[in-house]
Amino acid sequence: MAQLFAPAANTIATASLFALAGLPFVLVAGSAITRGSFNTKVGVPLNQPAPFSHKHHVKELGIDCRFCHVSVETSANAGAPPTEVCMTCHSQIWTNSPLLQPIRQSWETNTPVKWNLVNRAPDFVYFNHAVHIAKGVNCNTCHGKIQEMEITWKGQAFHMGWCLDCHEDPSKYMVEISPEKSLTPRQQVFEVYRKISAGVPLSAVEMKLMEGLPQRAPNDKVHEGVKLMADRGINKSALTDCYICHR
C-alpha cells in the first residue's frame, strides 16, 4: 500500500496546530468587529441632506418631541415630520440659510426629502412606539442622548439580547423619572425634555437617563420597580413571548 501522507504532512500538521492556537483571537476579533460601532454604527453620526440638530431644537429651543414625531403615542411608528412641519418655522426664520436649501427645495418642488434612516429594527421585528411610551419608557433609553446630538446617531445596536434584557424583567429598569410631580408614565417621558430646555435642574435619575445609559435600579430598590410595574399594568409573564415582537 502506498504512503498515505507525503513528507510535507509533518510541517502542515505542526503549522495547523499553531494556527489552531490563533483561532480564539480570530473569533474575538471577528466578534469585536461585528459588535463594535464599526459595524453597528452606534455613536457614529450619520450625514443627512440637511444637518438637522436635535440638540438645537430639543434642548436649546425646547420643541417637544411630539411636534415632529406626531404618532409616537398612537402608532407603531413615531412618524417622520413632513417638509411642511419644517417650513412652519423656516418659512419665517433662517429663510436664506444654505443648510436649509434641501428643505426649501423639497417644499418648492413638492418632492420629499430623503433622509438617511438612523434607527431601524429588522423587518421581522414589529416594534411599537405607542405602548413603550404609554408605559413610561423614555426616548433616550433606546435612542441615546438625543438632546445632545448635533447630527443624529444611533443610540443602541438593537440586538435582541438588549431588548430581552428589559422584557425579561422590566422591574430592574423601572424608576419614577420625575417623582416630584404626579405625572402619568406617558407624561414623564416628555417632562424631562421640558425641564432640560427650561433649565430646571435634573435629579440624579434624570441625569443618568439623559446620558442614554441604562437606568438599572440598585438591588435594594428593585421592589420599587416591581410596584411601578403593577401600577402601570405591565405583566412580565408574557413579555418574552416570541409573538410579542415577531409575527
Which residues make up the interface to other proteins (CB under 8 A)? 34-35, 39-41, 70-71, 73-77, 79-84, 106-107, 110-117, 120, 122-124, 126, 128, 130-131, 134-135, 232-233, 235, 237-238, 241-244, 246-247
Least Å from the CB of residue 84 to other proteins: 5
Q: Which three cell numbers stand for residue 7?
A: 513528507
H/E element holding 163? Answer: helix 160-168
DSSP bridge partners of 42: 154
Query: 236 - beta bridge partners?
Result: none
For the bound state, the minimum distance from the C-beta of residue 183 to other proteins, rounded and expressed in Å, comes to 14
Nearest to 82 by CA among 95, 69, 101: 69
Please give the single-letter amino acid code of residue 15.
A
d(CA 19, CA 155): 38
- Between 103 and 196, CB nearer to other proteins: 103
Closest distance of CB 149 from other proteins, Å? 16
Pick between residue 71 and residue 197 the one whose CB is nearest to other proteins. Answer: 71
Nearer to other proteins, 169 or 208 (CB): 169
Nearer to other proteins, 5 or 124 (CB): 124
Residue 91 Cβ vs other proteins, minimum distance, rounded to whole Å: 13
> 107: Cβ–Cβ under 8 A, 6 or more apart, which residues?
83, 84, 86, 87, 91
Query: 145: buried, middle or exposed (CB in 10 Å: 19+, 13-18, 0-12)?
Result: middle
Rounded to a whole number of angstroms, the minimum distance from the CB of residue 144 to other proteins is 16
| Nearest approach, Cβ of residue 224 and other proteins (Å) | 19
Measured from the CB atom, is 113 or 166 closer to other proteins?
113
Residue 115 · residue 85 · CB < 8 Å: no
Looking at the Cβ atoms of 188 and 210, the one nearer to other proteins is 188
Backbone Cα Rg of the chain: 24
